[in-house]
A and B are shown apart, each in its own frame.
Chain A
Amino acid sequence: MNQAKLYTKDLHLHYGEIHALKGVSMEFPARFVTALIGPSGCGKSTCLKTLNRMNDTVPGVKITGKVLLDGEDVYAKNVDVPTLRKKIGMVFQSPNPFPMSVYDNVAYGPRVHGLKNRLALDEIVEESLKAAAIWEEVKDRLKKPALRLSGGQQQRLCIARALATKPEILLMDEPTSALDPISTAKIEELAVELKKEYGIVIVTHNMQQAARISDYTAFFLLGNLVEHGPTSDIFSNPKEKRTEDYISGRFG
Chain B
Amino acid sequence: MTEKQSIISTRRSKLTLEAVMSAAFLLCGLAAVVSVLFISVYMVASGGPVIAKVGILKFLLGRVWNPGNGQFGILPMILSSIFATAGAILIALPTGVLVAVFLSKLAPGKLPGALRALIDLLAGIPSVVYGLLGAILLAPLIFKLQTWAGLPQSGSLLAAISVLSIMILPTIITVSETALRAVPKQYEDAALALGSTRLQCIFRVTIPAAKSGIAAGMALGVGRAVGEAMAVTMVAGNAAILPELLKPVRLLTTSIPLEWAYSSGLHREALYGIGLVLFVFIMIINAALSAILKKGGAHNA
Closest residue to B211 on the A side, CB-wise?
A99
**Whole-angstrom distance between the alpha carbons of A120 and B187 in the complex?**
25
Is A96 touching B197 in the complex (CB atoms < 8 A)? no
A162 to chain B: which residues have CB within 8 Å? 193-194
Closest residue to A52 on the B side, CB-wise?
B193
Closest residue to B201 on the A side, CB-wise?
A112
B191 to chain A: which residues have CB within 8 Å? 98, 108, 112
A4 to chain B: which residues have CB within 8 Å? none
Is A85 touching B194 in the complex (CB atoms < 8 A)? yes
Which of A86-94, A221-229, A242-250 is near enough to bind chain B?
A86-94
Is A113 touching B195 in the complex (CB atoms < 8 A)? yes
Kindly provide the distance from the CB of B160 to the nearest chain A CB, expressed in whole angstroms: 37
Is A92 touching B194 in the complex (CB atoms < 8 A)? no
Known: A99-B299, A112-B204. A92 touches B189 (CB 8 A): yes
**Interface residue SS majority, chain B:** helix
**Whole-angstrom distance between the alpha carbons of A94 and B190 in the complex?**
11
Closest residue to A54 on the B side, CB-wise?
B193
B263 at the interface (CB under 8 A from A): no
Is B194 touching A108 in the complex (CB atoms < 8 A)? yes
B184 to chain A: which residues have CB within 8 Å? 96
A214 at the interface (CB under 8 A from B): no
Is A86 touching B194 in the complex (CB atoms < 8 A)? yes
Is B190 touching A92 in the complex (CB atoms < 8 A)? yes
Known pairs A83-B195, A98-B190; list 18 more (Cβ under 8 Å).
A54-B193, A57-B189, A85-B195, A89-B194, A94-B186, A96-B184, A96-B187, A97-B190, A98-B208, A99-B187, A99-B208, A108-B204, A108-B205, A112-B196, A112-B204, A113-B195, A162-B193, A165-B194
Identify the 5 closest CB pairs spanning chains A and B, nearest first: A86-B195, A90-B193, A96-B186, A85-B195, A109-B194
Could you pull out 7 A-B pairs where Cβ atoms are within 8 angstroms?
Answer: A57-B192, A82-B195, A82-B196, A86-B194, A92-B186, A99-B299, A165-B195
B residues in contact (CB < 8 Å) with A: 184, 186-187, 189-197, 200, 204-205, 208-209, 299
